[in-house]
A and B are shown apart, each in its own frame.
Chain A
Amino acid sequence: MTTQITKTEKEAGDLTRRDFLGLLGKGAACAGALASAGTALASSGGAANPLGGVGPAFQQEPDQYAEAVKNPPKIPDYNWTQHKWAFGVDAERCIGCLRCIEACKMENSVQMDRNHTRTWVERYAYLEGSDHAIVDSMHDIKNVIPGSKETRFKFDNRYKDNQYNDGKEVKKVGKVFFVAKLCNQCTKPSCVQVCPTGATYKAVDGPVLIDTKYCIGCQYCVQACPYGARSLNQVRGTAEKCNWCYHRITKGLQPACVEVCPTGTRIFGDRMDPESPVNQFIRNNRVNVLQPAMGNYPNVFYKGIDKEVF
């Protein structure tokens, strides 16, 4: 696993961003091929063909499909009882570049708009003298790159020079920070509890998965998730959420958002491996989880979050 990750990281270092995202696209193509072959692992990932059977995966280009059929990926043996995946977010490192969102959307064929996402980044800003933060994220139209048709995002410069104009007066900014959010793959997931069909379930190795061929699209899970991590994919008519790129991690790769994060904000690894990055992160830092009072026992561990982070 380590070898593969190192190799991919090395490749990523030599590539331009565009090439790299293209590479991610090929990753999706591979996952699509797996889904077509009826592989259980890949069908739980986002790239499964919604119509079932053999054929291009969701949003897969014909040439990507052809390549996936020609060069099917070699899947290493994977035993889900030997892993316990966990995620770390070092909020102090996040610069709000939002590459994670774009990588996720491409990797997992998430709907390309600002209202459906598997992962997002929130910006918290305290004005001087205020105890409450002003929060914004990708669904704020000002954070969408104009002309990108809601496919690309960038935090706007509203706190330029530590000043904020709220329409009435210009105020000084106390502090600003970013917090990345994604599915917490809870130990006691509310979404799994409320799913009437069992289409969403907790995998032995940690992630909560959705069987998109069995989900009825009632959206009870969307209501039940305390973290707002779920949405309805309008095209598939089924629930959608982050699965830590299950199709990648079971092949020894990192989730797409972790792969592209330029600052090491996102940390991923196996709790069963004492030296994994996430175990080191949890061991070496004082970490917190979101909304612990909900009783969901999240598996995304945060460093450097603040009382206002919900």
Chain B
Amino acid sequence: MEHDIFHHVAPFTGFTFPNETEVPWSELIVIYPYITGLVAGAFVISSLHHVFGMERFAPISRFALLTSLCFMFFAPTPLLFHLGQPTRALNAVITPHWTSAMAAFGYVAAFYVCLLLLETWFSFRADIVKMSKTRTGVMQKVYKLLTLGSDDVSQRALDTDHTIARRLAMIGIPGACGLHGYVGFLFGSLKTREWWSSDLMPIIFLLSAIGSGVGLLIVIYVVTSWWRKKPTDAGAMEGLLYVLWTGVVVVMVIEALEMVQMLYKAREGVEGVMDLVTGPIHIPMTMQWGGSLLALIITTILMLYGTKGKKLVFWLFVSGLAMMIGVLAMRWNVVIGGQELSKTMRGLVTFHPEVYGRESLVTVSTLFTAPFVVLYLAQKLLPTVWEGEPLEPEERVFDIHKAI
């Protein structure tokens, strides 16, 4: 217990309530909206092709969908690690208390996982059927199981798959926006904290989610292409550049508007807000705006000069990464910053994350690495995720013969 107290208690200045010196929501709650944001962002990119038929996104649309699914698997895990009584987590689903903004979380998350699983299955069904016929051994059985007994690959069946996948994606767009807008609502609806209590919060969360999701896709796409020694698709990269530029611009404008509005209204405690921005969160604040600004400058130059080829890939990669870091810092500023400003508005606490332990940086890193590992395995299981790529038997990770 002493150990717990030593690690949880945050130093404070000014007038805070005694109970506030233990920050309730830690770094785990920082990556929870971050991960759901990446899910929403990646899903939007996949939908640009699936729903709106933007062909330039065709080479990465199924990969974006798979990315979205793999990250969604892990979206609820930070919450589970954070609960004081994790074994009771399902209480909120069994007996939801509907006046609570949080009560719907289990349903929203479950709905979204199901939707992503279904869409992925319909998108990959033809390939799964094909592999269940070409592969041998255990993997054949696995693929056979994954077909769920539906091995019809006639043109009519494929058209049906496509139609259903498209309709699911159409449901998924409001779903993704709802999922992430809802996360913003969890924070924005709390009247106790000036830093959170903003009507713009759901919109900021949603837009920054799309920005970070696109950033993630760029980063993974560039890294995996380099890893697979395959060129990136020029059209897709250009499309990602446009989306990222739009994302950065809109996010920065809305965030700046929110900040200006808060300062201009200058309600009681605005001095506290200024102290917070220039005090405990000044480093992540610099990272947030620095990252966004860097992404904005680079993408603007890329667009102005119509850069193509390797230069585009490199600089787009840099701006994607900057955007990801900027949004992560923004999540920190919202979640941790909101709690560092006392409810009295006349005091500040300074949160120091733990390195080891249940709620620690190690847990956060592990939970954030897990989706990448699962994504790696998923794209090995579904190698056709890379559009037009031939199936090379020697690269099969799940090949039973190779294992023996």
Chain A residues within an 8 Å CB radius of B8: 115, 234
Chain A contact residues (Cβ within 8 angstroms of B): what range? 35 or more
Interface centre among A117, A218, A238 (most CB of B within 10 A): A218
Chain B residues within an 8 Å CB radius of A199: 91
Complex Cα–Cα for A195 and B101 (A):
8
A217 close to B84 (CB less than 8 A): yes
Determine, out of A1-9, A61-69, A71-79, A225-233, the stretch whose residues face the partner at the interface. Answer: A225-233
Complex Cα–Cα for A171 and B62 (A):
70
Chain A residues within an 8 Å CB radius of B190: 194, 223-224
Shortest distance between the CB of B89 and any CB in chain A (Å): 6
A135 close to B15 (CB less than 8 A): yes
Chain B residues within an 8 Å CB radius of A114: 18, 21
Q: Mark B2-42, 1 if CB is under 8 A from A, else 0.
A: 00110011001011111111101100000000000000000
Q: Mark A138-182, 1 if CB is under 8 A from B, else 0.
A: 110000000000000000000000000000000000000000010
B5 close to A234 (CB less than 8 A): yes
Which B residues from 95 to 143 make CB contacts under 8 A with A? Answer: 95-97, 99-103, 105
Chain A residues within an 8 Å CB radius of B89: 216
Complex Cα–Cα for A225 and B193 (A):
10
Chain B residues within an 8 Å CB radius of A120: 17-18
B16 close to A113 (CB less than 8 A): no
Which A residues from 182 to 240 make CB contacts under 8 A with B? Answer: 190, 192-199, 214-220, 222-239
State whether the Cβ of B344 lies closer than 8 Å to any Cβ in chain A.
yes
Shortest distance between the CB of B63 and any CB in chain A (Å): 34
Chain B residues within an 8 Å CB radius of A40: none
Chain B residues within an 8 Å CB radius of A217: 83-85, 88
State whether the Cβ of B82 lies closer than 8 Å to any Cβ in chain A.
yes
Chain B residues within an 8 Å CB radius of A139: 12, 16, 18, 21
State whether the Cβ of A254 lies closer than 8 Å to any Cβ in chain B.
no
Q: Which residue from B4, B14, B346 sits with its C-beta under 8 Å from A234?
A: B4
B22 close to A227 (CB less than 8 A): no
B17 close to A196 (CB less than 8 A): no
State whether the Cβ of A137 lies closer than 8 Å to any Cβ in chain B.
yes
Complex Cα–Cα for A137 and B101 (A):
33
Known: A223-B190, A228-B20. A194 touches B84 (CB 8 A): no
Q: Mark B334-350, 1 if CB is under 8 A from A, else 0.
A: 00000100011110000
Chain B residues within an 8 Å CB radius of A227: 17, 343
B84 close to A223 (CB less than 8 A): no
Shortest distance between the CB of A284 and any CB in chain B (Å): 30
A195 close to B191 (CB less than 8 A): no
B192 close to A223 (CB less than 8 A): yes
B343 close to A228 (CB less than 8 A): yes
Chain B residues within an 8 Å CB radius of A122: 15
A residues bordering B, Cβ < 8 Å? 111, 113-117, 120, 122, 134-139, 181, 190, 192-199, 214-220, 222-239, 294-295, 310
Given A139-B18, A190-B191, A192-B99; 15 other pairs, CB 8 A cutoff: A115-B9, A116-B19, A120-B17, A196-B100, A197-B103, A198-B97, A214-B91, A218-B83, A218-B84, A223-B190, A224-B190, A224-B192, A227-B343, A231-B19, A238-B84
